[in-house]
Amino acid sequence: MRICVVGAGGREHALADALVRPGHDVVVTPGNPGIPCSDPTPPEQVAADLYVIGPEVPLVDGLADRLRAAGRLVFGPGAGGARLEGSKRWMKELLVDAGVPTARHGSFTDPAPAVALLEALPPPYVVKTDGLAAGKGVLVTDSLAEAVDDVRAKLDGSAFGPAGSTVVIEEGLTGPELSLLCVCDGHRAVPLAPAQDFKRLLDDDAGPNTGGMGAYSPVPVAGPDEVDEVMATAVEPTLAALRRRGIDYRGVLYAGLMLTAAGPRIIEYNVRFGDPEAQVVLPRYAGDLGRLLAEAAAGALSTEPSWDRRAAITVVLATEGYPQSPRSGDPISGMDEAAAVPGVTLYSAGVGPGRTSAGGRVLNVTALGADLPDARRRAYQAVSLIDWPGMHYRRDIAGRAAGMEVHA
């Protein structure tokens, strides 16, 4: 099959890699200078048997609808389904309607009732933008004053522009987090291997939220029973609620969960592969990913996913100043040496011409190993070979799950 992957980051590089493996012919549009099969031609003008849309922004903007209207086979929800990610308020309403367990919450356009709800809740306080904010629109804090300031900055447009014109306030939940990415064909959903990502910038989950600083798979706390429970209590009822609204959801439904003492709770839905979760889930896919995605796109899933038993971890290498004001243009050294470490693959998130840093997240160093400690050793060995001025990464990715001291 000729497959067109839409997007420009490490997730799309990992998608391309997993699709090329069983022999498909892949083009990534627009891609980036670090992804070999990149092509700047807009997806509408690329001839392909299957279109796989990576990022949320084109999905929310209706790219899947436009391609389908032109008769193309598309993996990715239309704008109707993509509202699950495009509006947290709408997503929360759908969860309540579907009876899916989630944090208690309220949605507000005025500061006064939002502050009143914050004052009525115990810490930690959770304030989210309704609209898309590249994973950075969520504040979790123990400080009521900081939460109140954040509500005001979001609602008056100074923090996130129109994305913050509605805020969602949530009860703070505690427990291990889990990302369960499911492939949906409109009626049926099949779970992919569970993953866990690391959203905060700094070790020990300190610093601001980012697009994601690393991930690993499998997840020791998420066995088959936990996955079955999430499918039965969250994913399947959500797909049914979408169908009741006339939405034929064909694409990834990514359930972001917290495994609380009272059971799993949905904290977010995304409508595409996670970035960087894709970089640890897709290398472990043992079947023909193109076939699985094409079946889902056609509304006729029949393949059961199968998995490489090895573990995977990915460490995100970011630039100085990320996420607020990333610096670009520094020459990157050591990429070839790092890629030569057995089990290691480099995915290019923001590599510019001539191997320079271009954007906040630059490289994803992914390693497969016999188990998590082995994968972790290989990934950090490769990381130690790469450098550029101001390069930053977390040293504790998968540290706890691998049974290690979190500081590598």
For ligand AMP, what does the binding mask look like between residues 11 and 40, x meaning CB under 6 A? ------------------------------
Q: Note whether 201 binds ligand AMP by CB under 6 A.
A: no
Q: Note whether 130 binds ligand AMP by CB under 6 A.
A: no
Q: Where are the alpha helices (DSSP H) in 208-365?
A: 224-230, 236-244, 278-281, 289-297, 335-339
| Residues whose CB is less than 8 angstroms from the CB of residue 397 and which lie 6 or more positions away in sequence, other chains included | 198, 213, 214, 215, 216, 313, 314, 315, 376, 379
Contact segment (CB under 6 A) with ligand AMP among 154-162, 171-179, 279-287, 305-313 equals: 171-179
Cα–Cα dist 90/96, whole Å: 10
Residues 253-272 that bind ligand AMP (CB under 6 A): 256, 267-268
Contact residue for ligand AMP among 8, 53, 140, 341 (CB under 6 A): 140
Q: Note whether 195 binds ligand AMP by CB under 6 A.
A: no
Q: Note whether 138 binds ligand AMP by CB under 6 A.
A: yes
Minimum distance from CB of 150 to ligand AMP (Å)?
Answer: 13
Q: Note whether 277 binds ligand AMP by CB under 6 A.
A: no
Among all residues, whose Cβ is closest to ligand AMP? 268
Q: Residue 60 is encoded by which pair of tokens? A: 């929310």
Q: Note whether 55 binds ligand AMP by CB under 6 A.
A: no
φ, ψ (nearest 5 deg) of residue 20:
-70, -35
Nearest CA-CA partner of 307 in 343, 330, 281: 281
Q: Note whether 89 binds ligand AMP by CB under 6 A.
A: no
Q: Note whether 301 binds ligand AMP by CB under 6 A.
A: no
Q: Note whether 103 binds ligand AMP by CB under 6 A.
A: yes
Contact segment (CB under 6 A) with ligand AMP among 23-31, 133-141, 352-360, 374-382 equals: 133-141
Q: Note whether 173 binds ligand AMP by CB under 6 A.
A: yes
Query: CB–CB of 196/177 below 8 Å?
Result: yes
Contact residue for ligand AMP among 38, 107, 209, 348 (CB under 6 A): 209
Q: How far is CA 131 from CA 108, 155, 163, 179, in A?
A: 13, 12, 4, 20
Q: Note whether 56 binds ligand AMP by CB under 6 A.
A: no
Q: Note whether 213 binds ligand AMP by CB under 6 A.
A: no
Q: Which is nearer to ligand AMP, 172 or 390 (CB)?
A: 172
Minimum distance from CB of 182 to ligand AMP (Å)?
Answer: 16
Contact segment (CB under 6 A) with ligand AMP among 93-101, 172-180, 272-280, 281-289 equals: 172-180
Minimum distance from CB of 236 to ligand AMP (Å)?
Answer: 21
Location of structure tokens 């001291």? 405
Query: CB–CB of 395/335 below 8 Å?
Result: no
Minimum distance from CB of 229 to ligand AMP (Å)?
Answer: 19
φ, ψ (nearest 5 deg) of residue 402:
-85, 5
Cα–Cα dist 137/34, whole Å: 28
Q: How far is CA 212 from CA 39, 94, 168, 294, in A?
A: 26, 26, 21, 28
Secondary structure tally for the chain: helices H, strands E: 13, 21
Q: Note whether 181 binds ligand AMP by CB under 6 A.
A: no
Q: Note whether 95 binds ligand AMP by CB under 6 A.
A: no
Contact residue for ligand AMP among 114, 126, 201, 242 (CB under 6 A): 126
Contact residue for ligand AMP among 56, 130, 170, 396 (CB under 6 A): 170
Number of residues that bind ligand AMP (CB under 6 A): 15
Q: Note whether 52 binds ligand AMP by CB under 6 A.
A: no
Query: CB–CB of 76/134 below 8 Å?
Result: no
Strand partners, 178: 257
Cα–Cα dist 361/74, whole Å: 27
Q: How far is CA 352 from CA 55, 156, 162, 213, in A?
A: 19, 36, 30, 20
Cα–Cα dist 322/324, whole Å: 5
Contact residue for ligand AMP among 177, 229, 236, 374 (CB under 6 A): 177
Minimum distance from CB of 82 to ligand AMP (Å)?
Answer: 15
Query: CB–CB of 183/305 below 8 Å?
Result: yes
Q: Note whether 101 binds ligand AMP by CB under 6 A.
A: no
Q: Which is nearer to ligand AMP, 121 or 282 (CB)?
A: 121
Cα–Cα dist 338/355, whole Å: 14
Name the residues that contact ligand AMP, by CB under 6 A. 103, 126, 128, 135, 138, 140, 170, 172-173, 177, 199, 209, 256, 267-268
